[in-house]
Amino acid sequence: MRRVAVLGATGSIGASALDVIARHPDRLQASVLAAGRNVDALLELCARHAPAHAVIADEARFDALKSGLAAAGLSTQPHAGMAAIDALVAGDTCDTVVAAIVGAAGLDSTLAAARAGRRIALANKESLVLAGSLVMAAARESGAAIVPVDSEHNAIFQCLPPQDGRAARDIRGLRRLVLTASGGPFRGRTRESLRDVTPAQAVAHPRWSMGPKISVDSATLMNKGLEVIEAHHLFGVAPGAIDVVVHPQSLVHSLVEFVDGSTLAQLGLPDMRTALAVGLGWPERLESGVAGLDLVRQGGRLDFEAPDLDAFPCLRLAFDALRAGGTAPAVLNAANEVAVDAFLSGRIGFLDIPALVEDALAALPAAEAGLDALREADGRARAHVTFAIGRRA
Ligand SMILES: NC(=O)C1=CN([C@@H]2O[C@H](COP(=O)(O)OP(=O)(O)OC[C@H]3O[C@@H](n4cnc5c(N)ncnc54)[C@H](OP(=O)(O)O)[C@@H]3O)[C@@H](O)[C@H]2O)C=CC1
Ligand SMILES: CC(=O)[C@@H](O)[C@H](O)COP(=O)(O)O
Ligand SMILES: [Mn+2]
């Protein structure tokens, strides 16, 4: 029996992970559920999955969690605070961790899981963007297997022969990785036409149902930029050997090209339960609830086009940050998180997102990247963008 800690249980990935887990009561058990602030949703999940532990990151909500569990007659142990999540992940409560907290807030628990040698089904791409070298080094040292569940990286993981259950690195004969991008809700639009788009329009992803932050990232193409950096760390591939192609149907989840001219791809319906079944079951294949792919019924065509870096400069900014190295990806990520939050709450416009990220990267030059320096760069980028937004108001 694999005991699984689902971090970000109340979110979109959390729901997909718990759906797959519930299909395999003989093999998988949700032993820890962790959420940020949504106590009611967490209590509902506890009633359905009966985990041994439940954590709410917002400490002010501990009493609500505790009394809710007691009122429901559940024996689940309540905890509060981010440190409690890290301690549970590192302790004897689980052997597998679904890392699905959104944003840089997921870094500490991902690192805790990597240091503790857990099998990690990794959705929280921001932890790799912020501190990829450190997370990967910690996993190598402890023996933790990282199985990427971000759909593109999961596709590449399936196309490459995994090494000891880990994402393959230093792959002989590899020419390049090709990440597919849906193009988001604004594919085909000019930069100028994006000036007044609303948060509701930006989160209306054409193919995937996801949380608000990653949906906006898909709309700006920052999601693909973050994924390029994620792929660099997971698979040890240089930025010049990672390409992005827009594929609006989101059926080809990514491709791997070899020096002999072969290209391997993984295809499937756009449903994250497939990637999570791979992450939770590997090397076994688990039934996920996702139907097979009928290419004729899906419209009978697969389209591909180049990304428009003029309308969507975030992808270029991410490549620039990866090439600059050091603290630059941490600055990119933190600036983007603050800008996306401001966009979602109506304080800035859509085109301000790339402008603010570019400004932060220019203002905070890349420095050497130890964990303390990365945290400091993250904090300085947040302060810089928050100040810049305040000045505009
Ligand atoms: N959704 C998808 O299909 C995909 C997502 N990903 C990645 O997976 C991650 C999660 O995305 P998604 O599920 O869409 O996001 P959601 O917004 O749907 O969910 C986010 C989850 O994180 C929790 N959370 C937020 N802050 C904290 C915190 N400080 N401590 C603990 N938990 C916290 C939220 O809890 P609460 O709501 O209770 O506050 C919620 O459970 C992101 O990194 C994203 O990039 C990658 C590929 C695909
Ligand atoms: C499901 C998943 O992995 C998302 O990261 C998805 O890729 C977002 O779609 P975009 O290709 O539009 O960024
Ligand atoms: Mn993805």
Structure tokens at 211: 């949380």
Q: What residues are in contact with ligand 1 under a 6 Å CB criterion? A: 8-14, 34-38, 57, 82, 100-102, 105, 123-126, 150, 208, 210-211, 213-214, 272
Nearest to residue 100, comparing CAs of 129, 124, 83? Answer: 124
What's the pLDDT tens digit per position in 205-216?
Answer: 999 999 999 999
Q: Which atom of ligand 2 is nearest to the CA of 221?
A: 13
Instruction: Note the pLDDT of residue 91.
Output: 96
Q: What is the mean pLDDT of residues 296-322?
A: 96
Distances in whole angstroms, Cα of residue 325 to Cα of each of 91, 121, 128, 332: 33, 25, 13, 11
**Nearest residue (CA) to ligand 2, atom 13:** 218
Residue 170 CA to ligand 2 centre (angstroms): 25
Q: Is residue 193, in this structure, part of any structural domain at all?
A: no
Instruction: Note the pLDDT of residue 162.
Output: 82
Q: Is residue 65, in this structure, part of any structural domain at all?
A: yes
Q: Is residue 132, in this structure, part of any structural domain at all?
A: yes
Mark the binding-site residues, compressed into ranges. 10-13, 36-38, 124-126, 150-152, 182, 205, 211, 218, 223-224, 227
Residue 393 has pLDDT above 80, yes or no: no
Interface predicted TM-score (ipTM) over 0.95: yes
Q: Is residue 13, in this structure, part of any structural domain at all?
A: yes
Q: Is the dihedral of CA 267, 268, 271, 273 positive or negative?
A: negative
- Write out 352-372 in H/E/C secondary structure: HHHHHHHHHHHHCCCCCCCHH
Instruction: Note the pLDDT of residue 374.
Output: 97
The answer to whether residues 252 and 302 touch, using CB atoms and an 8 Å cutoff, is: yes
pTM greater than 0.90:
yes
Structure tokens at 313: 């400069």
Q: Is residue 214, in this structure, part of any structural domain at all?
A: no
Domain that holds residue 55: 2-148
What's the pLDDT tens digit per position in 335-371?
Answer: 999 999 999 999 999 999 999 999 999 999 888 889 9
pLDDT band at 259 (very low <50, low <70, confident <90, very high): very high
Instruction: Note the pLDDT of residue 165.
Output: 78
The answer to whether residues 68 and 39 touch, using CB atoms and an 8 Å cutoff, is: yes
Question: Which CATH number do you get for residue 111?
Answer: 3.40.50.720
Residue 289 has pLDDT above 90, yes or no: yes
Q: How confident is the prediction for the chain on average, in pLDDT?
A: 97
Strands in 96-99's sheet, in edge-to-edge order, are 77-80, 53-56, 28-35, 2-7, 96-99, 119-122, 146-148
Check residues 40 and 163 and name the one with the higher pLDDT: 40
Q: What is the mean pLDDT of residues 149-159?
A: 97
The answer to whether residues 78 and 54 touch, using CB atoms and an 8 Å cutoff, is: yes
Q: Is residue 24, in this structure, part of any structural domain at all?
A: yes
Structure tokens at 46: 């506890």
What's the pLDDT tens digit per position in 49-101?
Answer: 999 999 999 999 999 999 999 999 999 999 999 999 999 999 999 999 999 99
Parallel, antiparallel or unpaired: strands 174-181 and 242-246: parallel
Strands in 242-246's sheet, in edge-to-edge order, are 242-246, 174-181, 252-258, 263-267
Q: How many domains does the chain have?
A: 1
Q: Is residue 241, in this structure, part of any structural domain at all?
A: no
Q: Is residue 33, in this structure, part of any structural domain at all?
A: yes
Q: What is the mean pLDDT of residues 365-389?
A: 95
Instruction: Note the pLDDT of residue 168.
Output: 86
Structure tokens at 23: 């299909």
* Integer Cα distance of 293 and 242 in angstroms: 26
Q: What residues are in contact with ligand 2 under a 6 Å CB criterion? A: 150-152, 181-182, 184, 208, 214, 218, 223-224, 272
* Integer Cα distance of 51 and 32 in angstroms: 5
% of the chain surpassing 90 pLDDT: 94
pLDDT band at 138 (very low <50, low <70, confident <90, very high): very high
**Among 124-128, 258-262, 294-298, 380-384, which is the least confidently predicted range?**
294-298
